[in-house]
Structure 1
């Protein structure tokens, strides 16, 4: 870690803590972090979905097809659960900040 990384981290932390002093700023920070998390998990889920669909196209036998379909189903179910949970946690934090 270079000195400018440390300086940038300190400046960003100071900026976040300054904005977080007001309720509107706290809501903005929570919404930003929630949206960033949704984007990261959504991108990761799409990449994993493309991999499972690719394995479905490369499958040779019936068991390989079944494995690819199960993997696709698991990717869709897990990513949906994680994204929904992340969204509800963000909304819960926003409600706690506003109340």
Structure 2
């Protein structure tokens, strides 16, 4: 089962773009005192490694756990996709979620 992801997690290097940092949009559910991420949470602008003038802007977490929601939105986990072709690269190993 994938590990839950929390505020400040990053994406992987994808299609030549450097990782972006993901920001939690809620603070009511935390893991180790850090807010859990959900579908729709925003990813910082991140640049194409070969040409930093090219960037991904306005990106978000695209999918998450179908079995665990916070305020109606699926929780984001290690390996879940973003809408820019990346995947979440960081999770809290002591808290895993199926589905």
TM-score tier, shorter chain, comes to: under 0.3
Greater share of helix: 1
TM superposition score normalised by structure 2: 0.22
TM superposition score normalised by structure 1: 0.22
Greater share of strand: 2
